[in-house]
Amino acid sequence: MDFPATRLRRLRSTAAMRSLVRETHLPPGALIYPLFLCEGEGVRREVSSMPGVFNLSIDEAVKEAEACAALGLGGLLLFGIPDEKDEVGSGAYAAGGIVQRGLRAIKAIRAAESLVVIADVCLCEYTSHGHCGVVARDGDHYEIENDSSVALLAKTAASLAEAGADIVAPSDMMDGRIAAIRQALDEAGKPSTPILSYASKFASAFYGPFREAAGSAPQFGDRRTYQMDGANLREAMREIAQDIAEGADMLLMKPAMPYLDVIREARNRFDLPMGAYQVSGEYAMLNAAFERGWLEPERAMLESLLSIRRAGADFIVTYFAKDAAALL
Ligand SMILES: [Zn+2]
């Protein structure tokens, strides 16, 4: 039936009416907060391009975990900033690595019981060259080796699970890493640890501020030989299907806002729990507009998160997690 019998504005008349017919919701439990762990004590070093985001020593990260639990967040995603880096990213899979120690400290506090503690699995924060895998050099030519990188990533995942990670989340984009990680987890006596795969991670300009936060900018070249071309949606679906076949338990889409169509397509095709990562550049872009008074912070933040949920993400990794939860 058409107008005037049908008047869609009838259901927008009051806040109570709008609330009743709202299709998409944003519970604090759907938000995951990233933490960047660094060495030292009492360290809270703000990332200049990400206002409100800090490099935290483990003692400070524990306080942050308590605050996140009190806000009802769903979980944390841990990244490490080691003091020492080398060619093969040894710090990523050292039993005494920064994230391994952080996991033990956070998992020891009571508040952590309500949080899912996820450990990012990659080498780029730990390699001297800043790439996500092992670099083979031949004169001017270099290549990011796939299979030798996968072996180190699998070792990293097992080490993080042993240190207490509730979920391991590989973000490297090497081929075959999910199967290798599953096998390494099972062999390490961690058959119950799920894998959250960054299955279709795009080579994006929006990761810039993160690289400052994590000190992981590549020293040469770029990541286009392993991360995906932003133009390719069908290839993203192939990446996801392959990771599921290899044993992924959950999916993480990255970035979020410039790739909402990819999230929607993945939601339509696959039934695994799926999250999306509202990345550093999305956060920095919004914050820059907030600082200039060009956007209303609270409304724009919540609208950005709601759009990611509406596109089909069950949960969202976001630097706004605490601010959003405080409003919800
Ligand atoms: Zn990486």
- In CATH, what class is 25-327? alpha beta
- CB atoms within 5 A of ion ligand 1 belong to 122, 124, 132
Question: pTM to 2 decimals?
Answer: 0.96
Q: What is the pLDDT of residues 149-159, one digit of tens each?
A: 999 999 999 99
Q: How far is the CA of 84 from the centre of ligand 1 (A)?
A: 16
CA of 265 to the centre of ligand 1 (A): 25
pLDDT for 17 equals 98
Given 85, 190, 254, 322, the catalytic residue: 254
> Which is catalytic among the residues 85, 190, 201, 322?
201
Give me ligand 1 centre to Cα 121, in Å: 8
- pLDDT for 244-287, tens place per residue? 999 999 999 999 999 999 999 999 999 999 999 999 999 999 99
pLDDT of residue 206: 95
pLDDT the model gives residue 211:
83
What was the pLDDT predicted at 169?
Answer: 98
Tell me how far the alpha carbon of residue 274 lies from the centroid of ligand 1, in angstroms.
20
Q: Is the pLDDT of residue 22 over 90?
A: yes
* Tens-digit pLDDT profile for residues 211-226: 888 888 888 888 999 9
**155 catalytically annotated:** no
Question: What's the gap in Å between 208 CA and the centre of ligand 1?
Answer: 13
- Residue 302 CA to ligand 1 center (angstroms) comes to 28
Q: What's the pLDDT at 147?
A: 96
pLDDT of residue 117: 98
pLDDT digits (tens, 9 = 90+) for 109-137: 998 999 999 999 999 999 999 999 999 99
User: Can you give the chain as a three-state secondary structure string?
Assistant: CCCCCCCHHHHHCCHHHHHHCCCCCCCHHHEEEEEEEECCCCCEEEECCEEEEEEEEHHHHHHHHHHHHHCCCCEEEEEEECCCCECCCHHHCCCCCHHHHHHHHHHCCHHHHHCEEEEEECCCCCECCCCCCEEEEECCEEEEECHHHHHHHHHHHHHHHHCCCCEEEECCCCCCHHHHHHHHHHHCCCCCCCEEEEEEEECCHHHHHHHHHHCCCCCCCCCCCCCECCCCHHHHHHHHHHHHHHCCCEEEEECCHHHHHHHHHHHHHCCCCEEEEECHHHHHHHHHHHHCCCCCHHHHHHHHHHHHHHCCCCEEEECCHHHHHHHC
Q: How close is the Cα of 110 to the center of ligand 1, in Å? A: 31
The answer to whether residue 12 scores a pLDDT higher than 90 is yes
Q: For this structure, is 254 an active site residue?
A: yes
pLDDT band at residue 49 under the 50/70/90 scheme: confident
